[in-house]
Amino acid sequence: MAFCPENIAACPDCDLLQRIPALPDGEMAYCPRCGRTLAESKIDSLRRTLAFTIAAAIVLIIANSTPLLGLSAVGRRADTTILGGVLLMWQHGQEITALLVAFCTVIAPSVYIVVMLTVLMAINRTPVPSWIRPLLGLSEFSKSWSMVEVMMLGILVALVKIADLATVLPGIGMFAVFALILLLASISVSFDPREVWIRIPWADANAKPALPGFAFENPTTVGDDFAKAATGGQLGLVACRTCSLLIAPPDVQKPGRCPRCGAKLALRHAKMFQRSWALLLAAAICYIPANLLPVMNTTTPGYEEKDTIISGVILLYETGSWPLALIVLIASVMIPLAKIIALAYLLLTIQFRRNRGRQERIRLYRLVEVVGRWSMLDVFVVTFVVALVQLQPLMSVEPGAGVLFFAAVVVLTMLAAENFDPRSLWDPDTAKENNS
């Protein structure tokens, strides 16, 4: 199997082939057609990332072992940690929601930090161990499902919701979570995976560079007429989705595995349309009970109240917290629905081979990817309100049936976005090929 030189890349979002020049420190290379960042020269990337990762590991332990919040009312006090909220959700019969919260707030961040720490410490060994290869793929997956920043906003909304019921006392864990958010962002910004891939021994030591005569139209020489520029698919080249290496396989329909990282190769995501439509349909079905059923049940000696997402928004507004009410309304009601509509629109434009407005559609897809995780906000709000307001017999809060459906909407739409292949927006025959 042959591979192309590392300065030749196919854009992950539009498949446009281009040569990446040598970049000065701090400079970035963008795809001229869709604007995707293709490469970035980061100063002292590995050592800076290692320092941030070590700090994040320390803060992660503090964030998960100390109380996030405390609640005090009429001489009674309740404290909770992140895992304490998860445990109470499990005890109230919300096992699936509890596992999802634990995965997004504890497991995924922990895996990401441990994997990054392992890779950054092992990369300086001679020779570099080959087992680093699968860890890099695992780090990307765990980073995409780590939602510490969404949890932090959920904690703030929970504080406002229960501020009138009792005295709320922030704990050390809350400040540690805030520090963890900053450190995780710093790791993501400072890390350059290309530096790691260059040092790792290849899975296939017999792989050879493509023929010297291999050439393609350079986008920088054709102005804005990108319709005539070559793409990877047109020249029978496949880009690895894990390490970004461009490969020239003998059979483009059965490209095998990447010679550098060993990941399975594919020209396009298999059965993208069928899977995306199935996930969107399931999300649309779950969206209805998620908004109609109560997500929290509050019990006091005098009354019992069942709160839906909308009633929670109204309560925040009536108590004067209209900025948080707007945030919850956007994140918990509007964004999930907008994601379903946006992804359905993108799939329809591909299936009906609409060629106009591709730049606008790729920006829409990126927006869906960025905002999708924030729909988990209300799930975290319910988790921490339930964990704190356990002052029996004076007051207690239990999760409602709607929270499970709401969590399902978030997960299904995120999976649909991950399954969507943005390169299909630029392929006129994608719908025909995927449905055949």
Percent of the chain surpassing pLDDT 70: 88
In this prediction, residues 334-351 reach a mean pLDDT of: 92
pLDDT at 132 over 70: yes
Residue 392: CB atoms within 10 A of its CB come to 10
Between residues 316 and 340, which one has the greater pLDDT? 340
pLDDT at 203 over 90: no
Q: What is the pLDDT of residues 368-427, one digit of tens each?
A: 988 888 888 889 988 888 887 766 666 677 888 899 999 999 999 999 998 999 988 887
pLDDT at 242 over 80: yes
In this prediction, residues 66-88 reach a mean pLDDT of: 79
Look at residue 71 in the predicted model and tell me its pLDDT.
74
Look at residue 228 in the predicted model and tell me its pLDDT.
54
pLDDT at 225 over 60: no
Q: What is the pLDDT of residues 22-53, one digit of tens each?
A: 888 888 888 888 888 888 888 889 999 999 99
Q: What is the pLDDT of residues 80-95, one digit of tens each?
A: 888 888 998 898 888 9
